[in-house]
Amino acid sequence: MEPILDNNRKWVKEQRAADPDFFNRLADGQQPKYLFIGCSDSRVPASAITGTGPGEMFVHRNIANMVVHTDFNMLSVLQYAVEVLGVQDIIVCGHYGCGGVAAAASNKQYGLIDNWLTNIRDVIRVHEMEFLRISDDDLRLRRLVELNVIEQVRNLAKTSIIQNARKTSKPPRLHGLVYDIKEGLLTDLDVEDDMISELNHIYGTSAQQYAAQVVEQETDQSSLTAGKPELTDEQSEPEKPRKGEQRVARQNQQAD
């Protein structure tokens, strides 16, 4: 532990020399503009790679930068950041070479963590054909890192906290970034805001209103096919995706 404490003393000395008021100012409180949700990986230090200092970025990290709707730790951080600190931008930051993402796509089991990794396997499920069509192992995992970030940004948009914030005059903007450990560079994946907004009809408070439109459309379609002979179970056509599922598929194509 000695190197850690020595480094701390050295850092305090340097900070005081550069800015005598540095610690007093921070002690007064924080008003960070950003919430950063990143991976716990030691090679992805949130402040260093974004050039932000103390007081500028609220940070939550977990294995593979996940936004899981039953994770009360993440939800508490998100609520506090949005409703109390009033952050303006929320960043989900993945990174190439992510061990969590690689583990989720591997053929091994790791114990308890497999249940966490199941959330990444859900990302594979949603984008399975794109994932499988990439023949190069490294490129496939790199794309999975990006798809995971995109889905975690969508997961953010689904939370009651972001849904409610969107009813206010200054909702936070959501971003998906990926960090390249080899290059040290961040890339914005440009997760489209209108695509995220399309989730509102389900994850906001208008799901029943939307359901009424689906029923209406399905009734119209069934009256058009009323003259067709009925199929037996063996012959029956595969169930067509509902409108919401088609919409998600379209979003996925847009993101691909």
Q: Give the residue numbers marked as catalytic.
A: 39, 41, 43, 95, 98
Whether 190 has a binding-site annotation, put simply, is: no
Whether 194 has a binding-site annotation, put simply, is: no
Backbone phi, psi, residue 192, to 5°: -70, 135
Q: In the bound complex, what is the minimum distance in angstroms from residue 97's beta carbon to Zn ion?
A: 8
Q: Give the per-residue contact string, 61-100, with Zn ion (x = CB under 5 A; - = no).
A: -------------------------------------x-x
Sheet of 173-180, strands arranged across = 57-62, 34-39, 89-95, 173-180, 185-188
Whether 127 has a binding-site annotation, put simply, is: no
For residues 70 and 120, is the Cβ–Cβ distance under 8 A?
no
Given candidates 35, 41, 92, 104, which one binds Zn ion under the rule CB under 5 A? 41
Which residues have CB under 8 Å from 110's CB, separation 6+? Answer: 103, 117
Given candidates 35, 37, 39, 196, which one binds Zn ion under the rule CB under 5 A? 39
**3 state DSSP class of 27:** helix
- Considering the complex, state which of residue 65 and residue 251 has its C-beta at the smaller distance from Zn ion: 65
Q: In the bound complex, what is the minimum distance in angstroms from residue 239's beta carbon to Zn ion?
A: 37
Q: How many residues does the chain have?
A: 256
Size of the site for Zn ion (CB under 5 A): 4
Which own/partner contact pairs does 199-207 have at CB distance under 8 Å and 24+ positions apart?
Answer: 199/154, 199/157, 199/158, 200/163, 200/166, 201/244, 202/244, 203/157, 203/158, 203/163, 204/163, 204/166, 205/163
Whether 93 has a binding-site annotation, put simply, is: no
The answer to whether residue 146 forms part of the interface with Zn ion (CB under 5 A) is no
Q: In the bound complex, what is the minimum distance in angstroms from residue 62's beta carbon to Zn ion?
A: 9
Which position has the token pair 């930051």? 93
Known binding site for Zn(2+): residues? 39, 41, 95, 98
Residues that bind Zn ion (CB under 5 A): 39, 41, 98, 100
Known binding site: residues? 39, 41, 95, 98
